[in-house]
Structure 1
Amino acid sequence: MEINGDVVDLPIGWRFQPTDEELLCSYLAKKVGCGPLPAQVIKEIDATEFFSKHPWDLVDSLSKEENIETEWYFFIHGAGYLHGKMKKNRRVGDENGIGYWRSIGKEDPIYDGDGNVYATKIYSTYFLAKPNGQIKKLKKTHWKMEELRLLNFHSTREDDENLHEEEWVVARITRGNDERL
């Protein structure tokens, strides 16, 4: 497996399948706080690059053997949140678009042990755009994404003025049994 340009050798049969809590506490909180990660197994990518590619183009380079994996993870930098809000549809590709990530519903709160909301999760489905890129003519695919983000994370950086533009999220992308859709 190649992550952030480094080849990571994992034991035979090992699968990275963390819970939401593990993703948030052991990975995302440490990523945002510049702490050491338990393992370098989540690809880091800028939102501009992430939302310029079809899901297959994002995950092809992460799988040693084609079509065996069905779940991938990304740290996305600048993921499109602006003060806790995001667009319902996020165009993928150029101005004509090759598709859209469409969010399903509202952000779901994630609670800590004391019952306080400390993170949110939003679900999205990938839709292929018709040749003219019109949002009303989309074909639903089997690609799904869950984005998790921390709330009220206090940065230790002195330059917090543009912090919302530099927000990190962790995304879990899954695919169904479709052929390259």
Structure 2
Amino acid sequence: MGDNGFNMPPGFRFYPTDEELVVHFLHRKAALLPCHPDVIPDLDLYPYDPWDLHGKAMCEGSKWYFYSRRTQSRVTGSGYWQPMGMEEPIYSNGKRVGMKKCSAFYLGQQPSDEGVKTSWIMQEYGLPDSISSTRSSSRRRSSKIDYSKWVVCRVYERNCDSDDDDGTQLSSLDEVFLSLDDLDEISLRNFT
């Protein structure tokens, strides 16, 4: 798993779903509960450019994972993270357990229309306000740190196969995910 310093058994792969990142990792982090295995490090994202995450964040393949504090500053040394679209809810057993926000990395100074969009993407997972405010109210009395403001991030570089790609074309994987936007129309009976 890269040069992270994590001692994992041979064959171990870290490939969590959105639900698993929120339920099994972020909720435990926010509640100050131990997480086994404790493989995701704490990292202040914003001083680092995405290509500097290797060796600092947990790496699996071409994806980096880390916890960070939720902050309004999204500026790094070489650029900034610009949110893309709306936040998406994350569900587990029919209950909303988290939110997912996607951002693209731009080179340049924020806010500037002249920033150059890169192929780096960040998926930032946070707790819904209703969950985080409930959990943090009891902790504020016992600690000066508000643990409800933690997020878990997945950063990766999107592959660009085309030389004339201007950043507006979708990858085939993105097109598949977009075609699945209305899962209510899909019946599991068709697959059995």
- The two structures have a TM-score, normalised by structure 1, of 0.72
> Aligned with 2:43: secondary structure?
strand
Kept in 1: contact 2:53–2:64 (CA 8 A): no
| Structure whose residues are more often helix by fraction | 2
The answer on whether the counterparts of 1:27 and 1:38 sit within 8 Å (CA) in structure 2 is: no
- 1:70 matched to which residue of 2? 62
81, 84, 88: which is aligned to 1:104?
A: 84
Q: Distance in 2 between matches of 1:135 and 1:147?
A: 22
- Cα deviation for residue 36 of structure 1 reads 1.2
* Alpha-carbon displacement from aligned partner over 1:45-90 (angstroms, at most 9, x marks no partner): 13xxx111211112244589xxx9310101102x21xxxxx67xx2
1:142 aligns with 2:119: yes
Provide closer, same or farther for how the CA distance between residues 110 and 163 of structure 1 changes in structure 2, counting only shifts above 3 A.
farther
Give the superposed CA RMSD: 2.9
CA distance in 2, matches of 1:176, 1:149: 22
Identity %: 32
Q: Which residue of 1 aligns with 2:150?
A: 168
For residue 100 of structure 1, give the secondary structure of its aligned residue in structure 2. strand
Distance 1:110 1:12, change over 3 A: same
Runs of 4+ in 1 over 3 A off after TM superposition: 60-64, 160-166
What does the per-residue CA deviation read over 1:9-36, in whole Å, with 9 as the maximum and x for residues that have no partner?
2233322111111111111111111111
Over 3 Å counting, the alpha-carbon distance change for 1:163 and 1:109 in structure 2 is farther
Structure 1 unaligned spans of 5+: 81-85
- Mapped to 2, the partners of 1:57 and 1:74 lie a distance apart of 13
Shift of 1:2: 5.3
- Structure exhibiting the larger radius of gyration computed from Cα positions: 2
Note the residue ranges of structure 2 that are not aligned, 5 or more in a row: 161-192
1:36 corresponds, among 34, 37, 51, to 34
Task: Tell me the amino acid that sits aligned with residue 138 of structure 1.
Answer: G
- The match for 2:167 is none
Change in Cα spacing, 1:102 to 1:39, as seen in structure 2 (3 Å) is: same
Which residue in 1 is equivalent to 2:76? Answer: 92
Residue 26 of structure 2 aligns to a residue whose secondary structure is: helix
SS at match of 1:92: coil
Q: What is the DSSP-based 3-state SS (H/G/I as helix, E as strand, rest coil) of the residue aligned with 1:159?
A: helix
Number of residues paired by the alignment? 154
Distance 1:63 1:110 in 2: 22
Give the strand-richer structure, 1 or 2. 1
